[in-house]
Amino acid sequence: MWYLEKPSEKDLNAYKALFYDKIQKKIEKKIEKDSCFKILLEEENIERLLISEPKELYELNNKLMTEFIKDYSVDELKEYQKTKENKKKDEKDTYLINKYDKLKEIQTIFNYNTLVSINQKKSYKIAEIKGRNTCTYCNRQYTITIEEDGKFITRPQFDHWLPKSVFPLLSLSFYNLIPSCSICNSSAKGEQIFSFEELIHPYKRSSPETDFRFSYLPNGKGGWKIDLYNLKGIEKETFKAFKLKNIYNYHYKLEAKDLLDLAIKNNGTYIEWLLNDMKEKKIAPSYEEAYRLLFGTEYDIKKVLDRPFSKLKRDLLITISKLNPNIAILESLKKGERKISFSFAFYVETLYQYLKRTLHIASYRLSLKPI
């Protein structure tokens, strides 16, 4: 979750080629009226703005912006953003609006709307390079890219991790464009400015694994509600920024129900029959295939973001699989065993865990003896 694999050098070069010449021509034209824009043609700044990694990109933006705006300050930018919400502008609002008026000029050069939003060929190429099947932020919706016979059918939206309205130099920066669903792109995070310490940047993570885990609790109405284990620090702030607890609580009863029913109610007979039957017919799936077949999610953590709600499902399976016969079946299959046996202990222990959570029983002990 909240993870994007870094692109290859080939992909970055392909991305740079989409915009470099166009931006250069716009800058050259701008210089005729305002010489301060010459800085953008120096020190390979166009290339650096397009493909630098997050931290370097942020520092480059601050350095260049001081050439355009005296005493440029990101903290002041946050105040500038608030002026848009004020119906009646006071003296301070007017000062900030005038001071940061240069942002509008820069936006005409790095114009995301004309170069990406309405340019389907380029926007679909970017989506193809990004290669994200589900929303990077919520892992709740598919964000697949489909183009067929020259027709552009669907692609993800791109959230600007640093909002383009106040960071116009970064409007087309590869590492500032995060594939996302419409809710996470607009309704949730919005135009807020975050630091790298306040909000997870997907390109700064080394793995899709997280410290927090999804779990479950009874909701008192015969169903379940989300439980977030070990959610703290920057992960907690990211969860809050995208309002993910509210979003997941809404979907939880639908997405988690089958997995919980499987753990609590299923006696394992059907699954045992299914896998043994496939094995006898010499079409037995691999461990990863069987996991995907049974649970509708990926076993490999590197692929967990390829399907919606895979993070949720995988965490639930980790929670309920310690004594889960389905996992035992898969482990046996992985080892190449033909016959698979079960332990009645699982069913008793699962019932105990269910009653303990539902009835809030403090503690009691069961004697478990395998058949």
pLDDT band at 250 (very low <50, low <70, confident <90, very high): confident
Q: What is the structure's pLDDT at 246? A: 83
**How many angstroms separate the CA atoms of 260 and 196, rounded?**
36
Mean pLDDT of 336-352: 38
CB 18 within 8 Å of CB 126: yes
Tokens representing 121 are: 């060929």
In angstroms, how far is CA 256 from the centroid of its own chain? 19
User: Poorest-confidence range of 10-19, 105-114, 226-235, 264-273?
Assistant: 264-273
Residue entry with tokens 């395998």? 370
Span 16-49, pLDDT tens digits = 999 999 999 999 999 999 999 999 999 999 999 9
Kindly tell me the sign of the dihedral angle through the C-alpha atoms of 65, 70, 75, 76. negative
Tokens representing 247 are: 């979003």
Count CB-CB contacts under 10 A for residue 201: 22
CB 53 within 8 Å of CB 175: yes
- Characterize 278-317 residue by residue with b for buried, 16 or more Cβ atoms within 10 angstroms of its Cβ, and e for exposed: bbeeeebbeeeebbbebbebbbeeeebbbbbbbbbbbbbb
User: Poorest-confidence range of 209-223, 291-305, 314-328?
Assistant: 314-328
Residue 54 clears pLDDT 60, i.e. is over it? yes
**How many angstroms separate the CA atoms of 215 and 219, rounded?**
13
The pairs formed by 55-60 with CB atoms below 8 angstroms and a separation of 24 or more are: 55/196, 55/204, 57/170, 57/173, 57/175, 57/176, 58/162, 58/196, 60/169
**How many angstroms separate the CA atoms of 111 and 298, rounded?**
38
**How many angstroms separate the CA atoms of 137 and 203, rounded?**
12
CA-wise closest residue to 356 among 218, 223, 221: 218
Q: What is the structure's pLDDT at 355? A: 40
Residue 290 clears pLDDT 80, i.e. is over it? no
Q: What is the structure's pLDDT at 330? A: 45
Span 153-206, pLDDT tens digits = 999 999 999 999 999 999 999 999 999 998 898 766 778 899 999 999 999 998
Mean pLDDT of 259-268: 61
Mean pLDDT of 85-114: 92
CA-wise closest residue to 329 among 320, 319, 339: 339
**pLDDT exceeding 70 applies to what percent of the chain?**
78
pLDDT band at 294 (very low <50, low <70, confident <90, very high): confident
**CB under 8 Å to 195, separation ≥6 — which residues?**
none
Q: What is the structure's pLDDT at 301? A: 80
Span 348-368, pLDDT tens digits = 344 344 444 443 333 333 333
CA-wise closest residue to 48 among 6, 19, 10, 77: 19
Mean pLDDT of 331-335: 46
208 or 106: which leads in pLDDT: 106
Residue 255 clears pLDDT 80, i.e. is over it? no
Q: Give burial (CB, 10 Å; 0-12/13-18/19+) of 348.
A: middle
Residue 278 clears pLDDT 80, i.e. is over it? no
pLDDT band at 342 (very low <50, low <70, confident <90, very high): very low
Q: What is the structure's pLDDT at 265? A: 59
**Which spans in the chain are helix H?**
9-31, 45-51, 54-68, 74-83, 91-99, 102-109, 112, 120-130, 182, 233-241, 244-255, 257-264, 269-280, 287-295, 310-320, 325-334, 344-359
Q: Domain residue spans in the chain?
A: 9-202, 213-359
Q: What is the structure's pLDDT at 264? A: 58
Q: Give burial (CB, 10 Å; 0-12/13-18/19+) of 39.
A: middle
Residue 105 clears pLDDT 90, i.e. is over it? yes
Span 126-163, pLDDT tens digits = 999 999 999 999 999 999 999 888 889 999 999 999 99
**How many angstroms separate the CA atoms of 137 and 160, rounded?**
12
Q: What is the structure's pLDDT at 291? A: 72
